Amino acid sequence: MITLKSFGITDTTFRDAHQSLLATRLRMEDMEPIASEMDQIGFASMEVWGGATFDATTRYLSEDPWERLRRFKKLITQTPLSMLLRGQSLVGYKAYSDDVVDAFVERAAVNGIDIFRVFDALNDEWNLERAAAAVKNNQKHLQMTICYSVTESGKMEGPIYNLDYYLDRAKSFQNMGADSICIKDMAGLLSPYDAFELVSELKKVINVPIQLHTHYTSGMASMTVLKAIEAGVDVVDTCLAPLALRTSQPAVEPLVVTLRGTEYDPKFNLDTLIGLGDYMESILPKYREYMETPRAAVIDAKVLSHQIPGGMASNLISQLRDIGSLDKLEDVLEDIPVTRKELGYPPLVTPMSQMVGSQAVSNVIFGRYKMVSNEVKEYISGMYGRPPGKVDVSVKATVFESEDETEITTITERPGNILEPELNKAEDDLKDITSDIDDVLIYALYPTTGMKFLRIKHGIDASEEDRDAESKQPLSVDTSSKATEQAPTKSSNIRSFNVYIDDILFKVEVDPTDQNLISISDGIKTQKGSETKPSVNGHTENSEGQLESPMPGVILRYLVEVGQEVKQGDPVAVLEAMKMENTLPAPRDGSIQSLPVEPGQTVVKGDLLAIIT
């Protein structure tokens, strides 16, 4: 029986709750006003950082994630601050080199994180080792995390995700020095009785505290949390009611009342919590565009078969909406379990959820494995660690266009071992902009969007005031319009547009603050008006040899130059879409006549990327 003293509640309002419901868009200015009051509630910890917040602040909000953390630390002085860390992938989507891992953990510790919740999408020690050691070196609390997943039946049973699997993971993580163990149920798949059994059995073999993190998605979370408490779980995660339920955490308020007078009573002030909820209600209307509204149900019973976590579901919807294929949502949800099985049953958590999700979208839109992101290719070759199951041999052969499995190089050691140090190069690339280690890490994590953010932050592309004005503009893009608003390339003020007059493309730059026309390019003849069709290569093409963007994203770089001869299928450009890098091939043989997009520029579906004649 656990004592009152050891039972606690963690609040996730400032991180996972809005990551799950609002695509991680909650701004610091809307959290700051209640941070001190939240600090007084008595939470065991507050999760305020990490996960997708680091990416979202730099990519979408023009907000410095390090500054956000320092401000939280100033405002929240009683309650330990926790962050979610994706093992060797930190707060990004790929494995980083060990020197970046060490530096990031150290800076997060210095700037204010007390508890590091460290997980790996594949529950692979190889990907946790370095980050775990770094947390210990900084004398911070290491919470080692088991991603909860199910094989197919939805229960804790079957060939991979059974009770023995979880006990084995927990024991291994405890041996790695964990100060606590977290069960991370990102898709709300953990049923109440499985939770009771899992926590009860873990308690027999694990000496450190056990925390439960679950999502409401399927509708089981409140029951699951209660059964876990009865089984002796030490800490559970909840959030304020306005950002609770749906794909987020269970709400704290009903739990507080449920536990009143029991040995687990957290003795939180309900009226204070309700007042904090009223505040959240007052600021949330401006984020309404990020919420999924068409459904009547607050829960999604189908998640029990498609196993899609909250953040992933909201991302899929916005991605499909951007491509104009929201009607394909059901097909994508059906493809996900198939793709997941073929990829060796990875748990659907970042970055695996993005990989499986975007692969399923590609499979539905372009045909199965016709377009495969560079990340999925690297996963199959072992760069993300060891999958819990086996990757389907025929998928491997299709992806690598090889009949012979032995010809496909796979990695047989900790991926971090074979990555060259990255920090010095990042410092060198930034030497004219900044030498601040926190800035260097932003760039090391996200070379393209991070650089964009840092140039604005350091006034190279816009002043501080301009940046603020910029960041408050709505981010929606009208994909139906021929004149397409592009992300700023030269200054954060200057907007560049692709304007078509009949079939001639002009690139037009405008400064919206004074409505001045900056430049108009020479016309480029295109076949914009002609019929286009999705091709087997996974991009849109027509007979005139134009490469068009198959979906919205950012052009990271071209792999060819104007004048260069290419063969059909040769790599032409790298498009970052759905957080994955996709190499786009030449639609035909010929000579590159024009490359109309600036690297770093945002494109929408159908934007012209290359003309080959």
- Closest to Co ion by CB, 186 or 612: 186
Report whether 374 contacts 581 (CB < 8 A). Answer: yes
In the complex, what is the shortest distance from the CB of residue 388 to Co ion, in angstroms, rounded to a whole number? 19
In the complex, what is the shortest distance from the CB of residue 378 to Co ion, in angstroms, rounded to a whole number? 24
In the complex, what is the shortest distance from the CB of residue 259 to Co ion, in angstroms, rounded to a whole number? 22
In the complex, what is the shortest distance from the CB of residue 82 to Co ion, in angstroms, rounded to a whole number? 12
Separate counts of helices (H) and strands (E) for the chain: 22, 23
Binding part of the chain for Co ion, among 16-24, 40-48, 462-470, 512-520 by CB under 5 A, reads 16-24
- The interface with Co ion within residues 183-202 (CB under 5 A) comprises 186
Binding part of the chain for Co ion, among 22-30, 181-189, 356-364, 380-388 by CB under 5 A, reads 181-189
Residue 462: Cβ-neighbour burial (10 angstroms; 0-12, 13-18, 19+): buried
- Closest to Co ion by CB, 91 or 597: 91
- Closest to Co ion by CB, 220 or 456: 220
d(CA 280, CA 300): 24
d(CA 65, CA 263): 39
DSSP 247: T
Alpha helices, H only, 238-351: 252-258, 270-283, 303-306, 310-323, 329-342
Burial code of 76-104, b = ≥16 C-beta within 10 A, e = fewer? beebbbbbbbbbbbbbbbbbbbbbbbbbb
d(CA 424, CA 402): 37
- Measuring CA to CA, which residue among 176, 173, 98, 107 is closest to residue 136? 176
- Closest to Co ion by CB, 309 or 337: 309
Report whether 98 contacts 90 (CB < 8 A). Answer: no
Q: Confirm or reject binding of residue 16 to Co ion (CB under 5 A).
A: yes
DSSP helix/strand/coil, 233: coil
Binding part of the chain for Co ion, among 178-186, 493-501, 509-517, 527-535 by CB under 5 A, reads 178-186
Both tokens of 81, joined, read 């601050």
Measured from each CB, the residue nearest to Co ion is: 16
In the complex, what is the shortest distance from the CB of residue 101 to Co ion, in angstroms, rounded to a whole number? 22
Question: At residue 310, what are phi and psi to the nearest 5 degrees?
Answer: -50, -55
Binding part of the chain for Co ion, among 108-116, 179-187, 462-470, 569-577 by CB under 5 A, reads 179-187
- Closest to Co ion by CB, 245 or 612: 245
| Virtual torsion, Cα 407, 408, 411, 416, nearest 10 deg | 130
In the complex, what is the shortest distance from the CB of residue 66 to Co ion, in angstroms, rounded to a whole number? 22
In the complex, what is the shortest distance from the CB of residue 362 to Co ion, in angstroms, rounded to a whole number? 25
In the complex, what is the shortest distance from the CB of residue 213 to Co ion, in angstroms, rounded to a whole number? 6
Give the total of residues touching Co ion (CB under 5 A). Answer: 2
- Closest to Co ion by CB, 17 or 555: 17
- Closest to Co ion by CB, 214 or 498: 214
In the complex, what is the shortest distance from the CB of residue 308 to Co ion, in angstroms, rounded to a whole number? 13
- Closest to Co ion by CB, 314 or 493: 314
Binding part of the chain for Co ion, among 11-19, 272-280, 337-345, 396-404 by CB under 5 A, reads 11-19
- Closest to Co ion by CB, 350 or 582: 350
The amino acid occupying position 107 is R
Summarize as ranges the residues that interact with Co ion (CB under 5 A): 16, 186
